[in-house]
Structure 1
């Protein structure tokens, strides 16, 4: 997206750009006094498998737990694109043009929730855990693999040295997820990298994290809720930071309530048992209950654009999907416009590739594959998939064209979309079996490659690094290239893009990649959506950013 005043492209992380809550347009937001006894009950869909979300890819990632709420961040990037140190006093960059050496000067008043002071050793330990091949951090390792060393210079200075320039190096060093070394006692595993990695993956703090952010983890009732409480000794509240109000956070408590059914969540909201729902299903957005004046007088209907897309991934290790003509045919058999209209209420748009549809990389000259059964039949015939025995099912070399489509039970509309696809596939002589599993095992099932095809979503950036998803090296267990995509030219593009500091040249590389993916269809790209939410009007200070919202800013006016 672009800044509405300057028309500049804004950066991609945290405070990349700001979209004000439409419910407040034309209304005065009063700073006033803050009620220190307020709580927030927030609905979350799907059980959480681990709360160490910065490291662990498995499970339900909740924005407010990543960097902002339990774990503080090392730096923030505001909408002005200016990097502002948070836990560091300042940043010194050597070799300003295509820098490779970064020095971070740390504050001496940042404390973990258990009372221990954050020290440089915590940063070194966290980096080592990301790079340990036995930790559940394969999705992070690729971003830090270009670092030659991370060193403690003195008691308040850490140095990052890269092997070669990387256009996102400062953001990634500054945004390194930091964990308290003293809680893991790595000295016990000296020389035993696997032992340490296994211990790290099973550590109790994965389920009861100790951070240094504005909220302290309190309790987790599995399958029901988990609770955060205000950190009354939060270091930033005492630090006189120019961009942080000392009263923040304003809320005393936040409860994340696990409700797997969206309709049930709406009822809980209307009954006053929860205060907010985000990621509301599109099918409910125009529900008469949510449009009634009685409802809108109590709740804000908030919609904001998030850089993400949905897709169907084809497991390229399966013989069925190795021929790109077959994948093109399958894309032509998905009635995307019908699904968008009937299931998603036209609250989004069909996309042709993995880049943010409103960003500078996305190539609008590429048209998404339309619903075209005739074209699909031609492509399948070219690829040798013909009904040889007259039973109505296409076959090749004695193998029927039959596959499994994997979805999870966290969204009611997944089944509806699957039913539409199944009917279309059957009309083309293809058997599609629908497999529904619980959200708690969905991510692991995909990570283990135990699927033929899967419906998924991916959050992208405005000018991000696509290496994690598309480079062939990321096919490793736990990596994000779980469909097994390999393409020599795409690998070259991703490697060149990482060292290309000219954004225009980098975008052109990514556009070439967009064209390759459009032809090969390793994913059948589906939609980019508005994120939909509902929250109680008693809350003030609510703003939406590219990454979601910042609960530090929410407050309730004192009566």
Structure 2
């Protein structure tokens, strides 16, 4: 009886825990553009404007969230999510694997692969490709940023060409999610060492792909063009080509949209929404929840930001509510930590944003020894001014505007923030190299919650903990939370995790924001979801004028 109850609990937990339901369609303005009553047409081209280029076509080396969105055109994962992330027997649906089976003790899961799928060069996609990709992801020479997803995987072995089994060290909540990844073509890299893979031509010219499209051309920093993959093993997409034009300037992106040279722009400035809707009846606005949050990251190796009092003072000296109200027009909300409010199972709603309190901020700075000794308006200590460089990227006017407001707020409490605006890929490279003092950036959170990559100290060496934050209490809570299957117990663990970060302020958490995209209303069949607009691009089609 006890064993059966435990098994039932595990089944429910493994398909439900750490996933959340998106807002209903009635809450998402323009979240669908399905055109179901119209006859679907094949052919045509969709041109999108994007703010920055992809860093790598190889999942092993890419560090950009929008890179994953672009690679969906080219590469299939072992599984994929149901579009609404609601429990329908499972939150996953088939992709490379048509089904999967857990062992009775949930320490093993076997994936059963589709047998009719081929790479674009005609070679069958097999379990050997899955094993190869897994082995490279755990190879320390590769330095895969998401390596921690395999912490609980003990072994992976091929049963036959179309069956592969993963064995786990222990039962935990995210088993299926953590073996869901983009699969690479083993035969392309058969004679390539891990050391050689980072500079392999495939990273810039992936000539062998598995997705609905293949790469026709890539002009770095200028243009990406996809065309249909004739070897794609599922229903063929309706659209012949997708073209992405890299246009860093936001005004130029909107101009291209208004003139019709592009048909889709993501991350429209919220202040433009009303005028776009009013003056451009040919456009639909897609406004829907995202999993993104923006933050100021403090480099914890910097002498200033080692001190928690300084970090808390920075947060309390910035009027984050004013930034949200002035820049986002209702499409963003203040953020208190790395857990999205939509994750109701473990979002700690008892925590409220730290207040905007310049006097308390000054008091904390004085406590840390910073006073205005020479009466010039800038705090100083031992002959040095309280000054630092705040970086952000040139292709986000919202971040630049926020940085300007932050600079003005900090000046009021005697802090000099020097703004440095750089290209996005330059900022990412500098962040990875720890070549910064503070920066405004953002994270797009995963569907399932596992903060290891960003917040665990082991991810400093290989992962996304690029602010070098190390807190033994946070490490312990993450380790415990990942292992805890009881829903109520895990909730309290993740509550405490948020409370420790709230007190420590390793980031100044700024805001969570909605997706705000604009699309030509002739493009039909679009379904949005929290990770971006291209979720079902295979089903899009263009209505004839």
Considering the TM-score relative to the shorter chain, is it more than 0.5? yes
| 1:173-212 paired onto structure 2 within 5 Å | 173=179, 175-186=180-191, 196-209=193-206, 210-212=208-210
Number of equivalences = 521
Question: Residue 9 of structure 2 corresponds to which residue in structure 1?
Answer: none
Question: Residue 300 of structure 1 corresponds to which residue in structure 2?
Answer: 284
| 1:21-60 paired onto structure 2 within 5 Å | 22-23=29-30, 29-52=35-58, 54-59=59-64
Question: Residue 225 of structure 1 corresponds to which residue in structure 2?
Answer: 223
Question: Residue 509 of structure 2 corresponds to which residue in structure 1?
Answer: 525
Cα 1:450/1:419, change in 2 over 3 Å: same
Question: Residue 94 of structure 1 corresponds to which residue in structure 2?
Answer: 103
Question: Residue 534 of structure 1 corresponds to which residue in structure 2?
Answer: 518
Q: 1:61-81 deviations in whole A, cap 9, x for unaligned?
A: 245424x32111211232443
**TM-score (normalised: structure 1):** 0.88
Question: Residue 543 of structure 2 corresponds to which residue in structure 1?
Answer: 557
Question: Residue 6 of structure 2 corresponds to which residue in structure 1?
Answer: none
Question: Residue 349 of structure 2 corresponds to which residue in structure 1?
Answer: 364
- Whether contact under 8 Å (2:122, 2:231) holds in the other structure is no
| 1:131-280 paired onto structure 2 within 5 Å | 131-137=138-144, 139-173=145-179, 175-186=180-191, 196-209=193-206, 210-237=208-235, 248-280=236-268
Q: Deviation of residue 558 (structure 1)? A: 5.4
User: Among 90, 94, 113, which residue is 1:85 paired with?
Assistant: 94
- Whether contact under 8 Å (2:337, 2:501) holds in the other structure is yes
Instruction: Give unmatched runs, 5+ long, in structure 2.
Output: 1-14
Moved more, 436-445 or 511-520: 436-445
- Whether contact under 8 Å (2:299, 2:436) holds in the other structure is yes
In 1, Cα distance between equivalents of 2:517 and 2:69: 15
- Whether contact under 8 Å (1:16, 1:77) holds in the other structure is no
| 1:463-502 paired onto structure 2 within 5 Å | 463-476=448-461, 478-502=462-486
In 2, Cα distance between equivalents of 1:473 and 1:176: 22
Q: 1:353-409 deviations in whole A, cap 9, x for unaligned?
A: 110112222222211122211110111111221223434322233432111101111
Give the match's secondary structure for 1:490.
helix
In 1, Cα distance between equivalents of 2:297 and 2:97: 41
Q: 1:99-158 deviations in whole A, cap 9, x for unaligned?
A: 221111222211111211112211111011111112251x21111132221111122211
Question: Residue 129 of structure 2 corresponds to which residue in structure 1?
Answer: 122
- Whether contact under 8 Å (1:445, 1:451) holds in the other structure is yes
| 1:447-458 paired onto structure 2 within 5 Å | 447-458=432-443
In 2, Cα distance between equivalents of 1:29 and 1:503: 40
- Whether contact under 8 Å (1:65, 1:71) holds in the other structure is no
Q: Deviation of residue 32 (structure 1)? A: 4.0
Give the match's secondary structure for 1:327.
helix
Question: Residue 323 of structure 2 corresponds to which residue in structure 1?
Answer: 339
- Whether contact under 8 Å (1:348, 1:528) holds in the other structure is yes
Q: Deviation of residue 323 (structure 1)? A: 1.4
In 2, Cα distance between equivalents of 1:84 and 1:291: 36
Question: Residue 240 of structure 1 corresponds to which residue in structure 2?
Answer: none
In 2, Cα distance between equivalents of 1:422 and 1:270: 33
Cα 1:380/1:24, change in 2 over 3 Å: closer
Give the match's secondary structure for 2:503.
helix
| 1:417-436 paired onto structure 2 within 5 Å | 417-436=402-421
Q: Deviation of residue 197 (structure 1)? A: 2.4
- Whether contact under 8 Å (1:124, 1:151) holds in the other structure is yes
Q: 1:174-232 deviations in whole A, cap 9, x for unaligned?
A: x122100111124x5xxxxxxx2231111111112232111111111122211111123
In 1, Cα distance between equivalents of 2:211 and 2:19: 18
Aligned-residue Cα RMSD (Å) equals: 2.3
- Whether contact under 8 Å (2:20, 2:343) holds in the other structure is no
**TM-score (normalised: structure 2):** 0.90
Q: Deviation of residue 41 (structure 1)? A: 0.5
In 2, Cα distance between equivalents of 1:171 and 1:159: 15
| 1:408-423 paired onto structure 2 within 5 Å | 408-423=393-408
Give the match's secondary structure for 1:150.
strand
Question: Residue 75 of structure 1 corresponds to which residue in structure 2?
Answer: 79
Give the match's secondary structure for 1:23.
coil
In 2, Cα distance between equivalents of 1:182 and 1:345: 51
Give the match's secondary structure for 2:399.
helix
Q: Deviation of residue 59 (structure 1)? A: 4.7
In 1, Cα distance between equivalents of 2:439 and 2:159: 47
Cα 1:43/1:434, change in 2 over 3 Å: same
In 1, Cα distance between equivalents of 2:378 and 2:169: 54
Cα 1:19/1:456, change in 2 over 3 Å: farther
In 1, Cα distance between equivalents of 2:75 and 2:132: 15
In 2, Cα distance between equivalents of 1:111 and 1:28: 30
- Whether contact under 8 Å (1:15, 1:76) holds in the other structure is no
- Whether contact under 8 Å (2:403, 2:440) holds in the other structure is no
Give the match's secondary structure for 1:486.
coil
